[in-house]
């Protein structure tokens, strides 16, 4: 049996990763350490089948809590750590950057240091991996052409991406200085089930269903490179199993779309699903509002390295997986209702109030 510690596993990507990895690997146990911010939902695991549920352990707690981490590391003989825990929303980092420095920088440092101490005294040094899940946003913005490679210089624009860039540097330093067998992944925008409805795709789905305005920042022509979350999870498994310590792997879907294209597609899918006779109905909700400060224009990943060295490629086609995602939200309205709590409503008011362009 292999045992992995996952941090932030009650969030969007962590949830998908744990469910996917435990289903695929019947000889894995996963310990999910998550402090359960607004973005974490322990109920995401309530429907696990019994043979999977018995290999899943949840520990509520903060990655900044040294004593808690020491307890986990000394009790468990870990095969690795997959580090997702983070404050992850760019707009929140603009309105309140401090939590990003605390969790993303100080939290990652605390986790690395505790991990290093225990790794040094473990019997399992060779095979152990620290997998740090990072973002393409550390590279800053592209113009209308070119791609981010693993050698693109870091040039973060937002407090979120600056905090992730800082964490990446600490992870690299712990490999170079202390030999910790760490690998870093920098991934593009994910979409899929369990994504909190503050991010573009689930926010738009949720607003269409509620007949609320669909807020588009700036001219709506910013480009993101979209990846279905299960493709990301499979890339992470490939890096965990075959990645070389000290290396970085860029992960991307090769599905570049302008924001306005995404919103149009979602309007059309939902009009079709809801049986609207007039294809334009949801599009009428589109509302252009003032731009995000420091808004990166375009992200696009060159995923050549992970494809060639580890044999990973995305399996899901964007338009199909987007339809599946819409269907998941339509079938899980109670999940959406449960996360749209008082805190969520306060955030919507804070971010979108007074932003008419
Ligand atoms: P998310 O916001 O949905 O989930 C983050 C999780 O971390 C939550 O469950 C939260 O409770 C937990 N958490 C936050 N602070 C914590 C702390 N101090 N201690 C323990 N747990 C804590 O985020 P996500 O979209 O699932 O992203 C996961 C990771 O992947 C992040 O590191 C993010 O930077 C990275 N990433 C995300 C995307 C994307 O498109 N969502 C793309 C590339 C990289
Ligand atoms: O209401 C909105 N209107 C809008 O036009 C929102 C929430 C977003 N947008 C735009 C901003 C971006 O150009 O849509 C695009 C996507 O926005 P987000 O969903 O907030 O994602 P982004 O800022 O690109 O960052 C995401 O991808 C990289 C994740 O949130 C990060 O965690 C990840 O690292």
Name every residue whose Cβ is closer than 8 Å to that of residue 43 and which is 6 or more positions away in sequence. 335, 338
Question: Residue 90 Cα, ligand 2 centroid: separation in angstroms?
Answer: 7
Instruction: Kindly report the backbone phi and psi dihedral angles of residue 56, in degrees, each rounded to the nearest multiple of 5, phi listed first.
Output: -120, 130
**103 CA → ligand 1 middle, Å:** 10
- Angle, helices 12-24/229-242, rounded to nearest 10 degrees: 60
* Residue ID of nearest Cα to ligand 1 atom 17: 62
Residue 88: what pLDDT? Answer: 98
Query: Which pLDDT belongs to residue 342?
Result: 84
Q: What is the pLDDT at residue 125?
A: 83
- Please give the Cα distance from 62 to 37 (Å, whole number): 10
Residues of the chain with pLDDT under 70: 276-280
Q: What is the pLDDT of residue 192?
A: 98
- pLDDT value, residue 284: 95
The Cα–Cα gap between 244 and 84 comes to 19
Domain spans of the chain, in order of start: 2-355
Q: Closest ligand 1 atom, CA of 40?
A: 9
Give residue 278's pLDDT.
58
Structure confidence at residue 201 (pLDDT): 98
pLDDT at position 354, please?
A: 82
pLDDT at position 351 is 95
Tell me how far apart the alpha carbons of residues 154 and 161 are, in angstroms, rounded to a whole number: 10
Ligand 2 binding pocket mutation candidate from 159, 259, 264, 348 (most atoms within 8 A of CB):
259
- Report the residue among 86, 160, 200 best suited for mutation to probe ligand 2: largest number of ligand atoms under 8 A from its CB: 200
pLDDT at residue 65, as a whole number: 98
Written out in words, the top-level CATH class of the domain with range 2-355 is alpha beta
**Radius of gyration over alpha carbons of the chain, in Å?**
20
User: What pTM does this model have?
Assistant: 0.98
Please state, as a whole number, how many other Cβ atoms lie within 10 Å of the Cβ of residue 110.
17
Residue 259: CA count within 13 A, CB half-sphere: 23
Residue 302's pLDDT is 98
CA of 313 to the centre of ligand 1 (A): 23
Enzyme catalytic residues: 136-137, 160
């Amino acid at each position: 049996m292999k045992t992995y510690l996952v941090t932030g596993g009650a969030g969007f990507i962590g949830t998908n990763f744990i469910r996917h990895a435990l289903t695929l690997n019947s000889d894995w146990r996963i310990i999910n350490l998550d402090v359960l911010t607004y973005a974490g939902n322990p109920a995401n695991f309530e429907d696990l089948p019994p043979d999977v549920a018995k290999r899943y352990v949840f520990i509520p707690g903060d990655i900044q809590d040294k004593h808690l981490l020491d307890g986990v590391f000394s009790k468990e003989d870990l095969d690795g750590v997959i580090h997702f825990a983070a404050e992850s929303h760019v707009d929140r980092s603009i309105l309140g950057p401090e939590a990003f420095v605390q969790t993303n920088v100080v939290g990652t440092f605390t986790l690395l240091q505790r991990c290093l101490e225990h790794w040094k005294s473990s019997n399992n040094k060779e095979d152990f991996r620290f997998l740090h899940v990072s973002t393409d946003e550390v590279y800053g913005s592209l113009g209308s052409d070119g791609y981010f490679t693993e050698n693109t210089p870091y040039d973060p624009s937002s407090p979120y991406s600056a905090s992730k860039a800082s964490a990446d540097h600490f992870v690299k330093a712990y490999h170079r200085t202390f030999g910790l067998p760490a690998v870093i992944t920098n991934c593009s925008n994910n979409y899929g089930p369990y994504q909190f409805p503050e991010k573009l795709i689930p926010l738009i789905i949720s607003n269409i269903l509620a007949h609320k305005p669909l807020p588009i920042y700036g001219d709506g022509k910013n480009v993101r490179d979209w990846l279905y979350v299960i493709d990301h999870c499979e890339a992470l498994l490939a890096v965990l199993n075959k990645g070389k310590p000290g290396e970085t792997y860029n992960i991307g879907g090769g599905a570049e779309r302008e924001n306005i294209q995404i919103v149009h597609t979602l309007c059309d899918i939902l009009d079709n699903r809801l049986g609207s006779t007039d294809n334009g109905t949801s599009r009428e909700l589109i509302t252009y509002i003032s731009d995000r400060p420091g808004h990166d224009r375009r992200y696009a990943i060159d995923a050549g390295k992970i494809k060639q060295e580890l044999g990973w490629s995305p399996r899901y086609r964007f338009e199909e997986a987007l339809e599946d995602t819409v269907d998941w939200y339509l079938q899980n309205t109670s999940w959406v209702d449960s996360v749209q709590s008082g805190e969520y409503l306060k955030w919507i008011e804070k971010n979108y109030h007074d932003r008419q362009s």
